[in-house]
Amino acid sequence: MKHMMVVVSMEEEWSTLKSLVQESYIDEGQQPSFSSTGSVEVCDLIVASRSVSFHCAVLKKDMTEEGISQALDSCFKSCSQGVSTFLLLIQNGRYKKRESRIMEFMQACYGPELLKFLIVLSLETEAVDMLDDALLGLINVSDGRYCRLTTTTLGTSDMLLPLLEMFDFMLAENGMIGYTEHMDSEAKSRYTADTSMKILTLKLQEAEEKEHAFKELVQKREEYRGREMQELKAKHAEDRKMEADVKRQYETKRESLEEAAMSHGAMLQMQLNLTNNDNGKKTSIILVGMSGSGKTSAINLISERVGNQYSINEAFPGVPSSTLTCERKVVLAEGRRLVLVDTPELWDEDGAENMEQVKDCLALSLPGPHIFLLTIQLGRFTQGESEMVSRLQKIFGRGFTEHAIVLFTHRNDIGRHKIESINDYVAGAHASLQDLLRKCGSRYYILNVWRNSRNSPSYSQVKDLLSGVHKLVASHGGGPYVTKRFPVEQLKERKRVIEERLM
């Protein structure tokens, strides 16, 4: 009688078993024969006068469950005399995840009866100190049927005797029968039924999930309708609030226009009272400061307010671009010609003085500047600005601070809070800023340079600033500040060149 053994093995382990068998039968008279039937490889040999036939379903690492099932079925059908046992090949006592996955699938396909006919065969080419827990668990459920082929048993066909002894013990436990076709048929029926039940369970779960999703969708739509109603109510309330705000803004604009009209009348009256001799009077102001501090915006606003320019539908001007050269504006204010000189930064990134720009600003303010307006953007005080006074004293002389006024420029277009009191702001300012103000005689003013504010206080701010300018000029006897760095004739020639260039 031939013992049919279905070998479940990966390619590497099957190759190792074939090599061991061939080496063991080198000196034997009857060599094992190897053949193949389709995808099934067969090894027939004689062990202790008993005929043994290994039918191997060689499995690959990337095979799907369907591929494994087809390979095992082909191997099962090739055993014409029935399957005596299932032989799981592992190497050096290692029960890997791939073998574990195959065994789980085989139990599902061939039923729990499979474990009664399973022998685990370890091909050991090296010493094995310990078996892992997964392998011990498999050995336990297969009633301890674990057999090893070690290097100490090689070289003779007797190396397979321990396997035959384990095989005989297994047959004795199972009534001298192997795994039958009836067992296989029942296992396949159960597997098909289980698979169908899983499919039905999955479909039921999908249906429940769809029902749950539909209920959630209905709930979300109801919540959305509720939110829509709340939003409509909120919008109606907001519209009513906006109507009230528009009314308040209209009243504020009307009050601002009345203020502008009163200021305009006062300035016209002052201009009518001017004498011809007064037209020769002039106050020169040089605005200095860091780039972006608002010098150009301040000059534009002073010019407009002194010139009584005001519009209800005033545009929303953007922030002026950086000044690159010295520029001059001349306006008539309170009986004097007001010369406003705009400047870029008078030093470079390394702190070196820009001599040409210094000459230009002095030339445009001849016979000399009466006032230096040191502009600082409100809320932005940098390290460079804290060093400005010492730099400007090096440029214009030690007397610079005696003719300096600090002008804070404010932009309410960039989300800052309205400044209620400039004095409160200064009182809480950084020590470096307070030190700068002390050096400039604690003379400071604020100017809102964002002109589109409907409640702009710029008229009164410009008026306060010019009043402070006139007071400081008067304190110096009305004369300009004269620096001795450059000859007057040189500055006059430079002024003439600048004016000709602008014509």
Mean pLDDT of the chain: 82
How far is the CA of 407 from the CAs of 171, 174, 424, 446, 479, in angstroms?
107, 106, 15, 6, 22
Those residues whose C-beta lies under 8 Å from the C-beta of residue 430, and which sit 6 or more positions away, are: 381
Residue 71 has pLDDT above 90, yes or no: no
Q: Which of 341, 333, 337 is nearest to 365 (CA)?
A: 341
Higher pLDDT, 185 or 384: 384
Higher pLDDT, 452 or 205: 205
Res 469: pLDDT = 93
- The position carrying tokens 């915006």 is 297
Res 81: pLDDT = 73
Which region, left, alpha or beta, applies to residue 432 given φ > 0 means left and ψ of -120 to 50 means alpha? alpha
pLDDT tens for 436-458 read 999 999 999 999 886 554 445 67
CA–CA separation, 369 and 93 (whole Å): 99
Res 341: pLDDT = 95
- The whole-number average pLDDT for the span 366-377 is 94
If pLDDT is split at 50, 70 and 90, which confidence band does 466 have? very high
Q: Is the dihedral of CA 164, 169, 174, 176 positive or negative?
A: positive
- The whole-number average pLDDT for the span 157-183 is 78
pLDDT tens for 26-43 read 656 668 888 888 888 988
Res 128: pLDDT = 79
CA–CA separation, 2 and 78 (whole Å): 13
How far is the CA of 198 from the CAs of 192, 205, 398, in angstroms?
10, 10, 95
- The whole-number average pLDDT for the span 211-232 is 89
Cβ(374)–Cβ(469) below 8 Å? no
Q: Which of 79, 142, 72, 82 is nearest to 112 (CA)?
A: 142
pLDDT tens for 350-370 read 888 999 999 999 999 999 999
pLDDT tens for 39-63 read 889 888 888 788 888 899 888 888 8
| pTM of the model as a whole | 0.46
If pLDDT is split at 50, 70 and 90, which confidence band does 316 have? very low
244 is written with which tokens? Answer: 């009230």
- Alpha helices, DSSP H, located in 86-180: 97-110, 133-141, 161-173
Name the least confident of 92-106, 363-377, 403-417.
403-417
Higher pLDDT, 185 or 435: 435
Residue 334 has pLDDT above 80, yes or no: no
pLDDT tens for 233-292 read 898 888 889 988 888 888 878 877 776 666 555 555 544 544 344 434 789 999 999 988
Res 142: pLDDT = 87
For residue 179, how many other CB atoms are within 10 A of its CB?
25
Residue 416 has pLDDT above 50, yes or no: no
Give the β-pairing of 371-377 and 282-289: parallel
